A and B are shown apart, each in its own frame.
Chain A
Amino acid sequence: MILKRILNAIFLSLGISTVVFLLLRILPSVSFADLYLSPRLSDETIARIKSSYGLDKPVLIQFFVWVKEIAMGNFGFSFIYRKPVIECIFDAFLSTLIIGLPALIYSFGLGIVVGVQLARKKGKAVDKFVSVFLLILYSIPTFWVGIVFILIFSYALGFFPSSGLRSFNFNEMSFVEKIFDLFWHIFLPSFTLGIAPMSAVARFVRSHTLKVLSQTYVKMAKAKGLEERLIFYRHVLPNALLPVVTLFGLYLPVFLAGSVVVEQIFSIPGLGKLAIDSIFKRDYPLTVGITLFVSFIVIFGNLISDILYTIFDPRIRLE
C-alpha cells in the first residue's frame, strides 16, 4: 500500500512539473530578458545564446529531451547558477530547513500548548482575548510581520541581525560561536515564518479539545468522580491531539509557501528565494526542478502524516 502511494507521489509530481514546464514556455514572455536592455545587441547574438541553452528547439522537442533526462535521473542544468539543478536545490533546501525546522517545532509546540490552555479556560476573558489575538496573527500578511520585526528588533533595538544566515566573520569563529551565531541569525526569520501556522494550530487544537470535552465519555468520567486533571491529560488530550498529526502534513506546503516570502525579506538563500529568482530569470530547468522537488515533498509529507495517523489511531488503515 505504502509503495503504491509513493509511486503515486512520484507520478503526481512529474505530472505537476510537466504542466509547469509547458506553461512556462507557452506564456508570453522572454527568456533572458535582461539581454534586450542593450539596444545594440543583434538578433544573431541572442539566437546564439539561446541555442547554447537548447532554447532554439521547438517546445515539444525540448519537452521530450527533458523527459528523457528526467528518466535518467538528470534534472538539468541551471542557466543562472551554471551548475546542476539538483545541487542548487539541495544547497537551498538546507537553508530552508534551518529556518523551517525551528519554525515548525515552535509553531506546533506553542500552538498546542496555547490551544489546550484556551480550551480549558473556555469562555473566560483570557480565552476571548487570546482567540481574537490569534485571529489577528493569522490574518496579517507574513511580509508585513517580517518588516515590522526587523523594524523593532533589528533597527530600533538592535537585538538581531536583519538578514543573512551568518556573520561576516563566521569562518573565524569557534564551533560554539558558530552555533550561537546561527541561532542569532535564524531567530527573526523562524519566528516570522512560524507565526501564522502557530495561530492556526492553536485555534485548531482549541476547537478540537472542546469537541472532545463535550463528548459523553468525558461526562461519564466526571460522573464517575475522576479527578479533573486526570480526565483532561489522560483521556481528553490524546484524542484531541490526534488530528494535529494530519495538520502536520497539511502545513508542510504552508511552510514552504511562507518561506518564499520570509527568505526574500531576510535574504536567506533557501528554496523560496531560489524559486523566485529562477522564475524571474526564466531559468526553466531550475524552476521545473524546484516544482518537481517541492511537489514531491508535499505529497510525501501528506503520506507520512497519513502513516503516522494509522500508528496513533489503530482504527484507521491506509487503503
Chain B
Amino acid sequence: MRVNQILFFLILSLLLTLGCRKEIKRNYIVIGSTIDIDSFNPYLSTSLFTQDILDRVYLRLAVEHEDYRTFTPLLAKRWEWSKDSLQITFYLRNDVYWSDGVKTTAYDVEYSFKAAISPELAWLNAEDIVRNIEDVKALNETTLVVKYRYVYPYQVMDINDVWIVPRHIYEKIPFSEWRKNGFFDHNPVTNGPYKVARWERGQLIELVKNERYFDKNYPKIERVFVKIVPNESNLTLQFLNGEIDVLPSVSPSVADKYGGDKNLKFVKYPHLAYEYIGWNQKNPIFADKKVRQALSYGINVDEIINVILKGNAVRSTSPFPSIFWAHNEKLKPYPYDIQRAKKLLYEAGWRDSDGDGILDKVIDGRKVDFKFTLITNAENQTRKEVAVAIQNDLLKLGVKMEIQLYEFNTFMRHILDRNFDAVLSGWRIATKPDLSSLFHTEAIKSGHNIVSYSNPYFDKLNDSAAVLNNLASAKKIWDEIQEILYEDQPYTFLYEPVRINGISKRIKIETVKMNSISFLFNLHEWELR
C-alpha cells in the first residue's frame, strides 16, 4: 500500500509540474491554422493562407490597400508614369537585402516577371499579366521599366501581383522543374520584415525578425509561430486556453459563445466573398427567370443570417460584394415574400394539380414535379445548416428539394461537368471587376458559367465595361450589369459572410489591422502588451 501511495504522489507531482509549463511568459505569438502552407515558393501556392504568410516574408513593389486602388511605396520608393501611360518606371530602394546578404535589385524583379509569365511554370495568376504587360526591364539595380500593351485601370495592381523572388537562388532550377522540386522549401531566402527560421511540415512554421530588414523599427514582435492543428475543435480549445494567440476564420457560433471572454477579442470585417445558390439552367425547371425570382423571394435569408450566422453576414445582392467599389448600392435584397413567390410560380405555370403538396407542370408533354437536388461540399458545416434552412423554406412554396453533400474534389467534378440541379457555394472575388468567367455566354462551355446563364445584352455590356479605363464611367456600366443580374437571378445571392478572427489580448489590439487583403495585414507593426 505504501509503495502505491508514494507512486501516486510521485505521478501527481510530476503531472502538476508539467502542467505549470504553460504559465511561462512568452515573448512570441502563435498563430493557429487548420492547414499548412503549400510552399515557400510563392509561384506554387494555391491557398490564400499561404499568401497571408508569404506576404510577411517577401516584399512586393508596393503595399496594396483595402480599397484595392491605393498603393503605397514598399520595395519601390516611387514610380513615374510615361506621358502616354503605357510605361511605368519604378525606382527601387537601395537598402533591401535578401536574408542571405545579397542585395534585392531590379534584376530580381525582371527575373520574377519571367517566371510569372513562363508557360512551363504555368502560374495560376499568369493570365492577366501575360495579357496586359508587354515587358519588364531592369535598367540598373534600382530602376525598373514596365511596359504595358495598353492603358487600363489596374496597371500598378498587375505588376504588384508579381511575387519578387531571389534570382540568384531561383535560377538554379529551370521553370519547368519548379513544380516538382522541393528545393525552394529548404531555408527559403526572403527579404521581408520576417525570415523563415523553421518549417516542420504539418506542424509549425517559425518566423523570426529579419535583421537585414530595411526599416530597423520593425517587426515589433520578433518571433512568430504558426501552429498547424488540423482538428478544428482542438485548435479552438488551444485558442481559448491561451496556447494560441491568433485564430483565423472563427465560426460565428464560437465567436458568439466566447465573445465575452476578457482575454480574447474577435475582430470582424467584411471581405470580398459571397455565398449563393446557382440554378442550373440546363435543367428546364430553372430555365424560366420567374421561377428563379420566386425561389429568391421564397428563401428567408435574414433568418439564415440571424440564426445560423448569428448576425455575422450582410445580405448579398450582386456578384460584387458591398465593400467593393463596383458594387451597385441601389439594389435592395429580395425580401422574404411567400405570396409573391407563389404568384410568380403560378404565372410560370406551376400548380399543384394532383394535390400532393408539391407543385407540378407539364413540360414537353410530361408532368413534372417541382423536385430537385441541391449539392454542396460536405466539409462546410455552415453550408450544411443553410441548406437545411432553405429546404424548409422551399417546402412552404410546394417545392421539394433534396440535399446531397460531396467531398470537395467530387463536388468540383459535379460543378465542372455541370452535373447538378442547384448548387450552394461561394466565390471569393478577384480584385478587379470582371464577370465574364462567371456569367458570359462564352464561359458556359469551358469557363465557370456553371449555371449556363446566357443573356446577349449582359455579354455586350460586360465586354465593354471590362476594358474601360475611366473607372467612373465603367462604374455606370457595372451598375447596369448588376441590375440585369438582379432581374435575371442566375444565382440567388444569399449573403456576404463577415470574416471573424480571434485574437488574444496579449497583443495590443490598437496596433492590429486585419482586413480583406490579409488577416496579417500589418503583422510587423503588432505589439505585445
Contacts and interface: CB of A to CB of B under 8 A. Distances in A.
Contact of B124 (A38, A53, A266): A38
A273 B202 contact: yes
Interface stretch (B95-103, B133-141, B164-172, B406-414): B406-414
A29 B413 contact: yes
A42 B124 CA distance: 9
B19 A159 contact: yes
A174 interface: no
Contact of A82 (B30, B179, B227): B179
B81 interface: no
B412 A42 contact: no
B234 A280 contact: no
B181 A42 contact: no
A49 interface: yes
A40 B127 contact: yes
A35 B124 CA distance: 8
B373 interface: no
B153 interface: no
Interface stretch (B340-348, B426-434, B500-508): B426-434
B413 A30 contact: yes
Interface residues of B, number: 68
Contacts, number: 150
Contacts of B127: 40-42, 45
Contact of B437 (A39, A82, A168): A39
B203 A164 contact: yes
A266 B230 CA distance: 8
B179 A49 contact: yes
A29 B15 CA distance: 48
Contact of A40 (B38, B120, B409, B430): B430
Contacts of A39: 427, 430, 437-438, 447-448
Contacts of B176: 52
Given A159-B19, A269-B203, A33 B225 contact: no
A280 B182 contact: no
Contacts of B408: 33, 280
B237 A155 contact: yes
B234 A150 contact: yes
Interface of B: 15-16, 18-20, 22, 28, 30, 38-39, 44, 46-47, 119-120, 122-128, 176, 179-182, 185, 198, 200-204, 206, 225, 227-231, 233-234, 237-238, 240-241, 243, 407-417, 427-428, 430, 434, 437-438, 446-448
16 contacts: A28-B413, A28-B417, A30-B409, A35-B124, A39-B427, A40-B437, A41-B124, A45-B123, A45-B124, A52-B179, A82-B182, A150-B234, A158-B241, A159-B19, A264-B230, A265-B231
